[in-house]
Amino acid sequence: MAVYDSWTLLEGTVCQVDKDLRQISLPSTLSKLVEGFMVEISLKPVVLITLDPSQYGFIAGSSTTFALISMFHHWLSTTGRH
């Protein structure tokens, strides 16, 4: 028996999907642009100031390499090997 044969064995009625769906409202392009500017201008600088300077994750311009260099430098300075 093929897959499509089992579809014909359905007992009962098929419900109307159109009744259960609602329209999707998407924000306009202008509102997305304004939201992006607001985050860049007002929110992002405040968040970056309050973060620990040794925070490397999810910060633009930082990388795993910077985190590893900082960690290696910390290890060497605490063991007395500069």
10-59 residue pLDDT tens: 666 666 767 777 777 677 888 888 899 998 898 888 888 888 888 888 78
pTM of the prediction?
0.41
Tens of pLDDT, residue by residue over 57-82, are 878 888 889 889 999 999 999 988 66
61 dihedral zone (left: phi>0; alpha: psi -120 to 50; beta): left
C-beta separation of 52 from 63 below 8 A: no
pLDDT higher than threshold 70 for residue 6: no
